[in-house]
Amino acid sequence: MRRGFTLLELALALTVVALALAAAVPRMATIRDSWIAEEAAQAIVQAHRRARLSAIVLSRPVVLTVTADSLTITNSAGAVLWRRPGPASGGATLAGPPRRLTFSPVGITMGLSNATFRVSRGAALRSVIVSRLGRVRLVRGP
């Protein structure tokens, strides 16, 4: 009785594995891009909720600043209450200029505060739509 495999059998097995990987790798990149875009969009949603609740709990105006590099919550005097890295730290892209949303002590944003934040990575696109009344929607796709 012989043990082991012939060189032809090993070459055939390696060819099958290489073909399977060639088909799976592009799909994994798409899933990774989608996951990174989703995570960045969720971070903006959570920052918005945190800023709104901070304004209500502190009974003072609170400012949420959303940039590609950071998500920052400050009080009206400019002291930083909370900070988190922005979408760019995870490899996602935030379209548009930096935005500042000012929350009143009752939780409603003041001024021109309706906003849409578009986060993308590769072909994955997420839109965070914020209303002045505090509603936040996360939309997947274009």
Class of domain 7-140: alpha beta
Is the pLDDT confidence value at 27 over 80?
no
pLDDT at 92: 96
pTM (2 d.p.):
0.81
Q: What are phi and psi of 99, to 5 degrees?
A: -125, 145
Q: What angle do CA 51, 97, 78 make, to 5 degrees?
A: 40
Work out the number of other CB atoms within 10 angstroms of the CB of residue 28. 10
Work out the number of other CB atoms within 10 angstroms of the CB of residue 97. 8
At 120-129, the pLDDT tens digits run 999 999 999 9
pLDDT, the chain, mean: 91
**Pairwise CA distance, residues 127 & 142, whole Å:** 8
Q: Residue 22: which pLDDT band, with cuts at 50, 70 and 90?
A: confident
Is the pLDDT confidence value at 1 over 70?
no
The residues spanned by each domain of the chain are: 7-140
At 35-73, the pLDDT tens digits run 999 999 999 999 999 999 999 999 999 999 999 999 999
